[in-house]
Amino acid sequence: MKDNLTEQEMREALFGTEPKNLASIEDKPCITSDQQHVSNARRASNPCSPKLKVTLRVMSEFEGNAELLVYEASTLSRIVAEQEAKAEAKKRKFKYFELKKIESV
């Protein structure tokens, strides 16, 4: 084996020999992105995220007219769902609220 190889010999040893007919390879038609098959757009599926439905009995005045507020929280934690529902009740200007039930949806 030779100690001194030329650059061309090193390239041939590493990458193999180059094809002699480069022109014939370049003449073949290439597929561009316009010609590729594009499937119809699909609707994104709704992820089945866990939800809890919190029902609160809310009042604006003490011993006043009561309403039921239903809030859907996207969490599995009952405590977090209850806190989010109470925060929503406060946003709607209710002062008094009582937890009725928390159920999984």
pLDDT of residue 42: 62
Express each pLDDT in 28-50 by its tens digit. Answer: 665 555 555 556 666 655 567 78
Cα 9 to Cα 16: distance, rounded to the nearest angstrom: 9
Express each pLDDT in 76-95 by its tens digit. Answer: 999 999 999 999 999 999 99
Question: Cβ distance 89 to 56 under 8 Å?
Answer: yes
pLDDT of residue 105: 84
Q: How many CB atoms are located within 10 Å of the residue 78 CB?
A: 14
DSSP code of residue 94:
-
- Sign of the C-alpha dihedral computed for residues 102, 74, 58 and 96 taken in this order: positive
Band (pLDDT 50/70/90 cuts) for residue 60 is very high
Q: Residue 80: left if φ>0, alpha if ψ -120 to 50, beta else—which one?
A: alpha
